[in-house]
Structure 1
Amino acid sequence: MPQPRVMLVVTGDDFGYCPRRNQGIVDCFQAGGISNVSLLVNGCAAKEAADLAKRHNIPIGLHANLSEGIPVCPQASTLTTQRGFFHGKMGFRQALERGQLSMKQVELELRAQVGLFRELTGHLPHHMDGHQHVHVLPGVREVFAQVLSDLRIPFTRVPVEPGQHSGPALPAHLQRFYAQVEKDALDSIPVFTRYGIRWPDVYLGLTTMGRNMSVPNLQRALGHALAAEPSSATTSGGASGPNQPVVTAELMVHPGYPSGPQEGGCGEGPDDFSRSADRQHELSVLRDPALLALYSRERVQLCAFKDI
């Protein structure tokens, strides 16, 4: 490929969630559809996932989880229900708003998950993001940034998607949730900047999840990356060509094969999204020759975080 216009990290989230998710992600990586994975260390198939990443040389980071399943740290009492499970995507947010969560326990859990990641993979994560975007929430973002800074984990995800409000029509509850994620992510930028944390110039993925993923929708989303200006404030500055800097971007995706009824999860079994056909739909689109041809035509080069 000639000098790329965009260096694109395509991250397969939820690696380790179940064996069928793992297999779908590996198949997608081998087909050139993703270039990076994010591991749920409390997923029921996390060890298998880490072993697969080693075997296939898949760049791997940590998908920090404070909202689904069983915590890694036994001292995470405020983060769990009486049954010992995390509060859930919305339950975590509600408990946070009510001031019921200990930020010290958030820190202990994040550090425990990094420790387990290192135990499973043999190295620290090169990037760390948040399952269900918990890492950009008020209070959590400061703890998250401190942990990354202390452990010298250089990259994270800032889920502010250009064109989010002009993308495909979404149900009202998703519109509200994504709007709040965007606000929280924008509020996280000064915090992450202060701690020296980096992220790609452009984030993509909220408007192309599940059934909304298609080659035309991905082309629309990529158009925002192709039109973006590189930002030395948010990237390492390492991706540059002889004439002009290259835009860096991350595309968040969720490929896989549907989980069996009682197969997978982080201790509570698989959720509806995992059991649906949406994961396999994403897998099919990401491997579509038309999408791979689009990357080539637009000089979009898939890469890992270490490459930017």
Structure 2
Amino acid sequence: MPQPRMLLVVTGDDFGYCPQRNQGIVDCFLAGGISNVSLLVNATAAKEAADLAKRHNIPIGLHANLSEGIPVCQSVQQSSTLINQHGFFQGKMGFRQALERGQLSMKQVEQELRAQVRLFRELTGHLPQHMDGHQHIHVLPEVREVFAQVLSDFRIPYTRVPVELGLHSCPWLPLHLQRFYTQVEKNALDSIPVFTRYGIRWPDVYLGLTTMGQNMSVPHLQRALHHALSAGPSSGYSSNSASGSDQAVVTAELMVHPGYPSRPQDGGCGEGPDDFSQSADRQHELRVLSEPSLLALYSQERVQLCAFKDLALLLPKNA
């Protein structure tokens, strides 16, 4: 077989969210649509998800969660700046607003992240090979430093840097998503010096913001892949290039959310499933990711799916 032009980690996020999500992710993995998963350890079906990963030999990492549901750390559950009066995390935007107001304790953030890593190890029998952030909390100011320290202490080698090429030329994205994704991109770019300082690694290119839910299609995925391939291994966003030659393999991560719709009151992280999880968007992603035409596109473009653990020889550790 010819050498691949791209090694692509296709990560199914939110593993453990509910039984329907778990089954959809497993079905997608068995169909060749994803190659890696990220586990929400505070989700209601996390134990089932960890067992499914073992049964089907699915590479699994940690989807660190500080924004949805109930904390894992007991001291954070009882009284902390991270929760509201009902004992739940403050939500995607609530967390960000509290952070901007200087109301969050980074010591409590660290306690919760460490507790989630330990619970992941209890559920799976090993440390995560990669660790990213649910709703991109890991690249936020202040949080990114704590997050990097935790990864370094547990020797978790890989993370996600959500900077997507072509993000600003997507007419199908509504204005509110464009604004949110632009802020995610800024936070991610600001995280790069921090992650580099701690010796954390990530693929050359990130994909997935422009192809979430109903925005996922084979043409949109093809567009995203072409942006990534044209950038090459030296995209300017990381110092993790596989090689200096023109024939170097591009490494990339595609974030996806396949699954079957959650049932009301069944799943989530303690508060029940959100609207996105109960919609048809997850099943739409599952269907697109499993399409023979997409798998044929990977072959045509010499894209080889892999897991984070397979990138070890290609991503030399940062100085």
Tell me the TM-score normalized by structure 1: 0.97
Q: 1:42-91: CA deviations, max 9, x gaps?
A: 01000000000000000000000000000001222110001100000000
> What 5-or-longer segments of structure 1 have no aligned partner?
none
- Classify the secondary structure of the residue corresponding to 2:254: strand
Mapped partners of 2:154, 2:192: distance in 1: 19
- Classify the secondary structure of the residue corresponding to 1:11: strand
After superposition, residues 192-203 of structure 1 pair within 5 angstroms as: 192-203=195-206
* Residue pair 1:6, 1:249 contacting (<8 A) in 2 also: yes
* Residue pair 1:168, 1:212 contacting (<8 A) in 2 also: no
Report the CA distance between 1:230 and its aligned residue.
1.3
Partner of 1:63: 63
Mapped partners of 1:126, 1:146: distance in 2: 16
- 1:249 has 2:252 as partner: yes
Report the CA distance between 1:167 and its aligned residue.
2.1
Structure 1 residue ranges, 4+ long, deviating more than 2 angstroms after superposition: 231-237, 240-244
* Residue pair 2:233, 2:241 contacting (<8 A) in 1 also: no
- 1:235 has 2:236 as partner: no
Report the CA distance between 1:243 and its aligned residue.
7.6
Partner of 1:169: 172
- 1:296 has 2:299 as partner: yes
Report the CA distance between 1:218 and its aligned residue.
0.2
Over 3 Å counting, the alpha-carbon distance change for 1:253 and 1:168 in structure 2 is: farther
Partner of 1:46: 46
- Which among 108, 115, 123 is matched to residue 112 of structure 1? 115
After superposition, residues 140-155 of structure 1 pair within 5 angstroms as: 140-155=143-158
- Classify the secondary structure of the residue corresponding to 2:12: strand
- Classify the secondary structure of the residue corresponding to 2:58: coil
Partner of 1:91: 94
- Which among 271, 274, 278 is matched to residue 274 of structure 2? 271
Report the CA distance between 1:234 and its aligned residue.
3.5
- 1:307 has 2:281 as partner: no
* Residue pair 1:200, 1:234 contacting (<8 A) in 2 also: no
Over 3 Å counting, the alpha-carbon distance change for 1:242 and 1:96 in structure 2 is: closer
Residue identity matched to 1:303:
C
Report the CA distance between 1:162 and its aligned residue.
0.2
* Residue pair 1:198, 1:236 contacting (<8 A) in 2 also: no
Report the CA distance between 1:236 and its aligned residue.
7.3
Partner of 1:262: 265
* Residue pair 1:15, 1:40 contacting (<8 A) in 2 also: yes
Over 3 Å counting, the alpha-carbon distance change for 1:173 and 1:2 in structure 2 is: same
Report the CA distance between 1:306 and its aligned residue.
0.8
Mapped partners of 1:209, 1:290: distance in 2: 18
* Residue pair 1:39, 1:46 contacting (<8 A) in 2 also: yes
Q: 1:186-212: CA deviations, max 9, x gaps?
A: 000000011100100000000000000
Report the CA distance between 1:117 and its aligned residue.
0.1
Report the CA distance between 1:168 and its aligned residue.
4.0
* Residue pair 2:204, 2:241 contacting (<8 A) in 1 also: no
Report the CA distance between 1:235 and its aligned residue.
2.8
Aligned length: 306
Partner of 2:184: 181
- 1:80 has 2:90 as partner: no
Mapped partners of 2:186, 2:106: distance in 1: 21
Residue identity matched to 1:300:
V
- Classify the secondary structure of the residue corresponding to 1:95: helix
> What 5-or-longer segments of structure 2 have no aligned partner?
312-319
What's the % identity of the aligned pairs?
Answer: 84
Partner of 2:16: 16
Residue identity matched to 1:107:
E
Mapped partners of 1:246, 1:305: distance in 2: 15
* Residue pair 2:6, 2:249 contacting (<8 A) in 1 also: yes
Report the CA distance between 1:142 and its aligned residue.
0.2
Report the CA distance between 1:225 and its aligned residue.
1.6
Mapped partners of 2:82, 2:100: distance in 1: 13
Report the CA distance between 1:175 and its aligned residue.
1.1
